[in-house]
A and B are shown apart, each in its own frame.
Chain A
Amino acid sequence: METIDLLLNGLSGAFLPQNLLAVLVGVLFGLAVGALPALGPAAGVAILLPAIVNLDPTMAIAGLAGVYYGAMYGGAITSILIGVPGDSAAMMTVLDGYPMARRGEAGRALGMAVYASFVGGMIALVLMTFLSAWIARAALAFGPAEMTALIVLALCLVTVLGGSDPLKGFVALGLGLWVAMIGLDPISGIPRFTFSNIHLLDGIDFTIVVVGMYGLGQMFAELGSSETGGRSTANYSMASLFPRLSDFLRCKWHLVTSALIGFFIGVLPGAGATAATVFAYATAKRFSKTPEEFGKGSIEGVAAPESANNAASYSAMIPLFTLGIPGSGTTAVMLGGLLMLGLEPGPRLFSQQPEFIWTLIGTFYVGNVVLVFLTLLLIPALAALVFIRISLLFPIVVAVVFFGIYSVNYNVADVGICAIFGLAGYVLTRLQYPMLPVLLGVILGPLLERAIRRSLIISDGDVTIFWSSAISAIVLAIAAALLLWAIVGPLIRALIGRRRASA
C-alpha cells in the first residue's frame, strides 16, 4: 500500500506542467530518433545530455527517459513501412511487419506495434513500481564489498553478453577503465596520465566520452553504409491503425509473455532490448498455433518483439536507479546525466529523494500513454524522416554536439576531445569492438576503485572482505565464471571445430 501511495504522489507530480513538457519533448525526440536508422536511442540521449544539464533534475531525467522509451515506439514505424529498422531493438519487427505492409496491411501492423508497445510498457511499469522499491530496500544492506562485487559482475556481464565478441569486449573494458584513470588519484592526489596538461587534471568528463563515441562515432560509422534512397513507404489509412478485437485475442498471451521476457532480460546488465526481442520472437513462434506464418507477415510476429522491447527499456532502468549500475548503453548515458545533475543513483536515491524517483516513475506512466496517441498521429511524419539525407542530418547533429559539449565546462578544447572520441568510436564500431564496455569502464571505473579502496580501509587491508559475505562471494564467483567462459569458451569452440573438420 505504501508503494501505491508513493506512486499516486508521483503521478500528481508528473502532471506538473514543466514535467509534462519535458516528457513531451523527450518522447517526440525519441520517436524521431527511433525512426531514424542513423541514430539509436543511446545516441539520442547522448546528444540531448549536455543540453539538459541546467534544467531541474526531474525534468531533465524525465526528458532523457522519454527519449529512450519513445525510441522503442518510433523504431517500429520504419521497420514496418520501409523494411528498415529504426534501431537494433526494432529489427525483429521487420521480419513480419514489412511483409504485412507489402500485402496491404501496414495499418494493421502499425496499430498492433503501437498497442503492443503500450501493453508491454504498462506491464513493465507495474513490475518496475513494485520491484524497484523492494530492490532498493534490499540494496541498502549492501556494503562497499557487496557493491564492489556487483560492479565487477555488471562489468563482466556487459562485456560478455553485450557484444558478439567477449575478447574484444574486455579490450574495450580495459580502454574504458584507462580513460577513467586520467586525472588526479582521488586518494593520493597524484596526477595519472595527464601528460602535464592542466586541463586533464580533473579527468575527462563522461559526457564528452559518450557524446563523442555514440553521437559522432555512430555518425561516422554510418558514412560507410549506403543511404536509403529509392525506397517507398507502404500505404495505410488512419482507420486501419486501430487494433481489431480478433488481433487482440489472438495475441493476448504473446503480449504478456513477451513483456515478461523483455522485462527480465532487460534488467540484466548488457542484455538489452535487442536480445529481449529475439527471445520474445522465438518464444512466440514456438508457442504459436501458426508458426509457419512467422517471417511471412504474422501479426503475432509484430506483437511479440514490440511488447518485449518496450518492457526491456523500462526494466533496464531498474538497476540504474536502485543500484546505480546501468543495464544498457542508453542507461549508461542516463547515469552520466544523473551524475551531472548532482544525483547519485542507488538505493539511497529512494530513501533520500523519494519525491524525485516517484515523480519520475509517474512520468513514465504518463509518457507511455502519451506515446500511443502521438505515435498514431505522427506516423506519416516519422516515416518521412527516414528520407532525410544524412548530408542534411549530420551537420545538424555536429552543431548540436558542439554547443552541447561546450556548455559542459565552457571549454572549447572539450569539443576537440569529443571529436577524438568520435574517431575512436568509429574505429571501434568498424572493427566490431563493443562500445558499451568502454562507457561502463569510464563511469564505473572510479566507483569500483573507490569501493575497493574503501573496503580495504575498513578491513585494514584484509582482501578476504570481498568474499566474507555470502552475497559478495556468490556474485564474485559468477563474475569469475563469466570471465573464465569468455577466455576458455573460444578455445573450446576452436578445438571442437578442428576435431569436426578432421573427422
Chain B
Amino acid sequence: MSLARLDIAFSILTLAFGVWILSHALHYGISSEIGPGSGTFPMIAGLFVTLFSAATLVRAVRERKVASDSAQDRVGLAEIAKIAGILVMIVLYIGLFQSLGAFLPLPLLMIGISLVIEWRTDFGWLVKLAVISVAFTVACYFIFADFLRVLLPVGPLGF
C-alpha cells in the first residue's frame, strides 16, 4: 500500500479522533468556579488534533497525484507481517509470564521474534540462536533479579 494513501487514511483517522476528544472535552466542562474546567486542556488537545489533521488531510489529497510509487514510498505486507508477528509473540509471552515465570519462556520469545524477523532454519543458525537466547536469559536473571532486585514472577522451576 502506498504511503500517500496511508497518509490520507491516517489523517482521516486523526481528524475523527480529534472530534471525539472535543466531544469528551465538552462533556467534562470547559469552565469551573475556580478557572478552567476539566475539559479545557482536552479541548486544546482536541483542537490541535482536529484542525491540523484537517490541514494535513487537505494537503495529502492534493499531493496524492504527484506522489511517487517507489518501493521506499510503500509499506509492504512483509513489513506489516513482521510487526504483527512480533506483537503476537509479545502477547503470547505476556500470557505465559505469570504462570511460567519471567525467565522460562524468555528464550522462546527471543527465538520466536528472531524467526519472525528472519526465517532461517539451517541447523547452525538455530543452534547459535538458542545459545544466545539462553545466555541472554541468564544475563537478564543476574541483572534484573539479582543486581537490580526486580521482583519478577517465579515459574514452576523456581526461577
Q: Are B87 and A173 in contact (CB under 8 A)?
A: no
B72-117 contacts to A (CB < 8 Å): 75-76, 79, 82-83, 86-87, 89-91, 93-94, 97-98, 102, 106, 109-111, 113-115, 117
Query: Can you spell out 25 A-B residue pairs with CB atoms less than 8 angstroms apart?
Result: A51-B144, A167-B55, A167-B56, A171-B48, A171-B53, A174-B45, A174-B47, A175-B49, A177-B44, A185-B28, A185-B38, A187-B38, A188-B38, A192-B38, A223-B79, A395-B113, A402-B93, A403-B150, A406-B102, A412-B94, A416-B94, A419-B91, A423-B83, A448-B41, A452-B36
Q: Are B3 and A431 in contact (CB under 8 A)?
A: yes
Residues of B within 8 A of A391 (CB): 114-115, 117-118, 120
Residues of A within 8 A of B94 (CB): 412, 415-416
Query: Which of A223, A441, A445, A457 is B117 in contact with, Cβ under 8 Å?
Result: A223
Q: Are B118 and A174 in contact (CB under 8 A)?
A: no
Residues in B lying within 8 Å of A, measured CB to CB: 3, 6-7, 10, 14, 18, 21, 24, 28, 32, 34-38, 41-42, 44-50, 52-53, 55-56, 59, 75-76, 79, 82-83, 86-87, 89-91, 93-94, 97-98, 102, 106, 109-111, 113-115, 117-118, 120, 129, 132-133, 136-137, 140, 143-144, 148-152
Q: Are A407 and B150 in contact (CB under 8 A)?
A: yes
Question: Contacts A223-B79, A403-B144, A407-B144 given: A174-B113 contact, CB under 8 Å?
Answer: no
Q: Are A171 and B49 in contact (CB under 8 A)?
A: yes
Residues of B within 8 A of A457 (CB): 34-35
Question: Contacts A167-B59, A398-B113 given: A430-B75 contact, CB under 8 Å?
Answer: yes
A449 to B117 Cα, complex, angstroms: 42
Q: List 8 A-B pairs, minimum CB-CB distance, nearest first.
A: A174-B48, A174-B49, A391-B118, A177-B45, A395-B110, A456-B35, A170-B52, A391-B117
User: Which among A51, A399, A412, A456 has the highest number of chain B CB atoms within 10 Å?
Assistant: A399
Q: How far is the CB of A167 from chain B (nearest CB, A)?
A: 5
Q: How far is the CB of B18 from chain A (nearest CB, A)?
A: 7
Q: Are A403 and B152 in contact (CB under 8 A)?
A: yes
A265 to B76 Cα, complex, angstroms: 38
Interface of B is mostly: helix
A490 to B59 Cα, complex, angstroms: 10
Q: Are B150 and A181 in contact (CB under 8 A)?
A: no
Q: Are A190 and B41 in contact (CB under 8 A)?
A: no
A120-149 contacts to B (CB < 8 Å): none
Question: Contacts A394-B117, A457-B35 given: A220-B83 contact, CB under 8 Å?
Answer: yes
Q: Are B18 and A174 in contact (CB under 8 A)?
A: yes
Interface of A is mostly: helix
A181 to B3 Cα, complex, angstroms: 30
Residues of B within 8 A of A389 (CB): 118
Q: Are A171 and B14 in contact (CB under 8 A)?
A: yes
Q: Are A430 and B3 in contact (CB under 8 A)?
A: yes
> Does A104 sit within 8 A of B, measured CB to CB?
no
Residues of B within 8 A of A423 (CB): 83, 87
Query: Which of A390, A430, A445 is B41 in contact with, Cβ under 8 Å?
Result: A445
Apart from A178-B42, A220-B86, list 11 A-B contacts with CB within 8 A.
A51-B144, A54-B150, A167-B56, A174-B50, A181-B42, A185-B38, A391-B117, A399-B136, A423-B83, A427-B10, A430-B75
Q: Are B36 and A453 in contact (CB under 8 A)?
A: yes
**What 0/1 readout, one digit per residue, does chain A (427-460) give for beta carbons within 8 Å of chain B?**
1001100000000010001001100110011000
Residues of A within 8 A of B93 (CB): 402
Q: How far is the CB of B133 from chain A (nearest CB, A)?
A: 7
Q: Are B152 and A192 in contact (CB under 8 A)?
A: no
Residues of A within 8 A of B18 (CB): 174
**What 0/1 readout, one digit per residue, does chain A (215-232) give for beta carbons within 8 Å of chain B?**
000001001100000000
Q: Are A192 and B109 in contact (CB under 8 A)?
A: no
Q: Are B52 and A171 in contact (CB under 8 A)?
A: yes
Q: Are A395 and B133 in contact (CB under 8 A)?
A: yes
A427 to B151 Cα, complex, angstroms: 33
A398 to B152 Cα, complex, angstroms: 16
A168 to B56 Cα, complex, angstroms: 7
Query: Which of A51, A392, A402, A419 is B132 in contact with, Cβ under 8 Å?
Result: A392
Residues of A within 8 A of B86 (CB): 220, 394, 398
User: Which among A168, A174, A430 has the highest number of chain B CB atoms within 10 Å?
Assistant: A174
Residues of A within 8 A of B38 (CB): 185, 187-188, 190, 192
A229 to B63 Cα, complex, angstroms: 35
Question: Contacts A167-B56, A412-B97 given: A177-B114 contact, CB under 8 Å?
Answer: no
Q: Are A178 and B109 in contact (CB under 8 A)?
A: no
